[in-house]
A and B are shown apart, each in its own frame.
Chain A
Amino acid sequence: KNQVEQSPQSLIILEGKNCTLQCNYTVSPFSNLRWYKQDTGRGPVSLTIMTFSENTKSNGRYTATLDADTKQSSLHITASQLSDSASYICVVSAREVQGGKLIFGQGTELSVKP
């Protein structure tokens, strides 16, 4: 069964600190993996999208890594800011699946405190 599991479920850190969010998946055949940021009450916004051949991708203070062998991804946030408080969603796309079906993780709720 195609699944995406994220950990931790929630995380509280102090402003300025770094943190790493985890994503494990069992989706096959794999096409790409995406990380989204979702502010409360808003739609998700894309941070990174990585294909099978990409190991790391950065978007400002956000760096995503992908290990296709172990089927794991991480999102590292550097020098956190209060505006980083949000839900971070890992999404995996299965190759050649008809239509627009993606497999979504349940998200990690990040709270950055001053």
Chain B
Amino acid sequence: DGGITQSPKYLFRKEGQNVTLSCEQNLNHDAMYWYRQDPGQGLRLIYYSQIVNDFQKGDIAEGYSVSREKKESFPLTVTSAQKNPTAFYLCASSIRGNSYEQYFGPGTRLTVT
């Protein structure tokens, strides 16, 4: 069953703690992306990776970090430096770059108190 998965569905953390969100895909896609979604706003790009061991900052990378050690996996760490981390986080993948259709995971809702 091919697809893109994110875990956990809901995540709760105390302020000041780092937290890592998981994203895995078995679609054999080269490119992977992390977006943040806030109410009433369009999706905003945090980080993206077009190939293993390489990634670039998106529009709102401050306070986040990523790694791409395997083609299938693109975890996102929300650090304590992120001033407003509570949001819905979406991971996506595509065969290659932005001209190709992106497939989204089910999302992780992070709440930091």
**B20 interfacial contact with A, CB 8 Å:** no
Is A34's CB under 8 angstroms from B48's CB? no
- Can you sample 24 A-B contacts with CB below 8 Å? A31-B99, A32-B99, A41-B109, A42-B107, A43-B92, A43-B105, A43-B107, A44-B43, A44-B104, A46-B101, A46-B103, A49-B101, A98-B97, A99-B98, A100-B50, A100-B98, A101-B45, A101-B58, A101-B59, A101-B98, A102-B102, A104-B43, A105-B42, A107-B42
Instruction: Specify which chain A residues have a CB less than 8 angstroms from the CB of B109 in the assembled complex.
Output: 41
Chain B contact residue count (CB 8 A cutoff): 29
Q: Point out residues on A near B: beta carbons under 8 Å.
A: 4, 31-32, 34, 36, 41-46, 49, 89, 93-95, 97-107
B88 to chain A: which residues have CB within 8 Å?
A: 41
Residues of B within 8 A of A103 (CB): 42
A105 to B33, CA, bound (A): 17
A-B interface contact total, Cβ < 8 Å: 68
* Interchain CB contact under 8 A, B42 and A43: no
Q: Say if the beta carbon of B40 comes within 8 Å of chain A.
A: yes
